[in-house]
Amino acid sequence: MTGLTVSEAQFRRWTAGKVQGLPAADACRVLRDLFGIDPTSLFAAPSPKSPVPNDLEAEIEMTARNAQEAAGAAAASSISDTAVEQLRDDVLNLARRYEVTPPADAFRAGRILCAQIEQQRDRTQVPVQQQELLVLAGQTCAILATAAFYLGMFDNATRLARSASLYGETARFEPLRAYVGGTLAYIACFSARPAEAAQHARRAAMLPGLGDVGRRRLAAIEARAYGHLGDISAAQRALTMSLQMDSGVQDDLHDGVGGEFGFSDERLAMSNGSTCLLLGDGHAAEAAAEKALALVSARPGSTRSLPVVGGAAADLVAARLMRGDLDGAADALGDVWEVPDDQRATGLLARTRQLRRALTAPQYRDAPLAGEIGERLEHFARTAQLQRGSGVLAALEA
């Protein structure tokens, strides 16, 4: 058998089971000499007790390697839990610092944060991370909507609010959708659409999973809408409801995050005072405004909500003017003047515009103090360092 060989290709065909019958006689002699086994046994079908053939072992090895690669790819499509925790803290801080942050600064910070959240969402396919990032993106978008509203950009505030609501719907996070419903109601109120505002508030209150704070906020907003409509009985009913939300139920947004998503006692008092003014009840409005100012003044200076300070003080001025107390109104304006120019947002500018009009009433027309206050109110609005959108201008002309 000198010079007799078997090629590698031929050998692989044998081991792969691709040979029908036996090889040629010379090849059989080679196999018999190599293995000491009759070639008929070598090429016979394996018995049930035979060892795992080489081709199945290779298949198992390939399957194991594929599983390893797939697991590695899955790991690569997730992000660190620490990164998610940091984003959660950033959103929490933005929400809780919102009331003491100029709205333009809050908007810029929120825009950067929203981009960071979306970048991380693109990097992970882990369902639990996707879920939380959807919620965080929705919360940030809701704060952007509020900031845009404060800046008088009503159209874009509406667009941002609807985007936040869509995040909430996708994440099945109903408290966020409810909060956004209240924001849309505010925008509608300041856009002279009070009936639409009441609808937004009512629909939002019907969503499940809301705690007392969320429902209290919506009831106060609904009362304000009915006040604009002149529906005294409906407004009073909503006012009463806003004061009776004390079941102890909480939710993860209005209570868990809080801050801008909360609705403190002073904000409730301020909002209800504004409604009382719309209803022509100066005494109730004055009491509510004084309560709001007392509550916010009890907080440390660095945590006092300037929107509440300015709004409640302006409402107190309006209530005193309603009952003819010009000197008392002038005293209450002290808190209004203290609001920095970069914090004079939509609500406050609209209120000061209404005060300017009230001072033109016949009973104040010839009073030097009324003229002095009126001029100062004009300067106060003129020097506001906010980029005024069409919404602010519309609110000022309302």
Binned at pLDDT 50, 70 and 90, residue 386 comes out as: low
Domain boundaries, the chain: 1-45, 285-398
CA 24 to chain centroid, in Å, comes to 78
pLDDT in tens, 166-221: 999 999 999 999 999 999 999 999 999 999 999 999 999 999 999 999 999 999 99
- pLDDT in the model for residue 396: 41
Report, as an integer, the average pLDDT of 36-56: 67
Angle ∠(223,179,295) on CA atoms, nearest 5? 65
Report which of residues 18 and 27 the model is more confident about.
27
**Residues 6+ away with beta carbon under 8 Å from 274:** 224, 227, 285, 311, 315
Residue 226 pLDDT more than 50? Answer: yes
- pLDDT in the model for residue 21: 74
Tokens 């016979």 sit at which residue? 44
Residue 395 pLDDT more than 70? Answer: no
Residue 146 pLDDT more than 90? Answer: yes
Residue 394 pLDDT more than 90? Answer: no
pLDDT in tens, 72-119: 666 667 788 999 999 999 999 999 999 999 999 999 999 999 999 999
- pLDDT in the model for residue 398: 43
Residue 40 pLDDT more than 90? Answer: no
Give the phi and the psi of residue 238 in degrees, each rounded to 5: -70, -35
Binned at pLDDT 50, 70 and 90, residue 35 comes out as: confident
- pLDDT in the model for residue 392: 47
Contact of 330 with 376, CB cutoff 8 Å:
no
Report which of residues 265 and 57 the model is more confident about.
265
Q: What is the pTM of this model?
A: 0.79
- And the tokens for 365? 């027309």
Share of the chain above pLDDT 90, in %: 71
Report, as an integer, the average pLDDT of 350-379: 94
Binned at pLDDT 50, 70 and 90, residue 57 comes out as: confident
Which of 127, 121, 109, 117 minimizes the C-alpha distance to 88?
117
Q: Coil, strand, or helix at residue 253?
A: coil
**Residues 6+ away with beta carbon under 8 Å from 205:** 178, 181, 215, 218, 219, 222
Report which of residues 73 and 36 the model is more confident about.
36
pLDDT in tens, 298-335: 999 888 999 999 999 999 999 999 999 999 999 999 99
- pLDDT in the model for residue 47: 63
Which of 354, 321, 322, 317 minimizes the C-alpha distance to 336?
317
Residue 25 pLDDT more than 90? Answer: no
Mean pLDDT, the chain, whole residue set: 89
Report which of residues 358 and 24 the model is more confident about.
358
How far apart, in Å, are the Cα atoms of 359 and each of 49, 242, 396?
104, 32, 15
